[in-house]
Amino acid sequence: MTELNFSWQWRKKQSIIDDLNANPAGVFVAEEEGKVVGYVTTRVEEETGIGRIPNMAVDARHRGKGIGKKLLQQAMEYLKAAGMKYARIETLEQNTIGREFYPRMGFKEVARQIHYAKPLS
């Protein structure tokens, strides 16, 4: 599974870079003492009216300080100002922090997706 974990990390990094390039005004960062401790990215889909929040994280050492809440609120305010009717965020089932946090922020589960992997060696 190490190879899959590495590819996941690479894809996540690339996704954040893509978000920065596609919508730099919709990327928000939390800093403490000049260091990044959290971030959230957004994407605006004008044709559907759905604003996506593809990437969000808060450094584990800085959780419980309200940073995630402030970042998510800022992202939702941005999406609303951009004319979006809904905000959508996805998380993996094993992300218990996200699965508990997003409903507290008013998000409702609307679907589940299953991912499969098979070694090709």
The confidence score (pLDDT) of residue 6 equals: 59
Name which of 64, 52, 55, 54 is nearest 97 in CA terms: 64
Q: What is the largest CA-CA distance in the chain?
A: 49
Q: Enumerate the domain spans of the chain.
A: 2-104
The confidence score (pLDDT) of residue 11 equals: 82
The confidence score (pLDDT) of residue 113 equals: 87
Calculate mean pLDDT across residues 95-120.
93
The confidence score (pLDDT) of residue 4 equals: 53
> What are 49-96's pLDDT values in tens digits?
999 999 999 999 999 999 999 999 999 999 999 999 999 999 988 999
Q: How many CA within 13 A on the CB side of residue 90?
A: 10
Domain 2-104 has CATH 3.40.50.720: no
- Four-CA torsion 32, 36, 42, 43, nearest 10 degrees: 150
pLDDT surpasses 60 at 1: no
The confidence score (pLDDT) of residue 82 equals: 97
Cα Rg of the chain, angstroms: 15
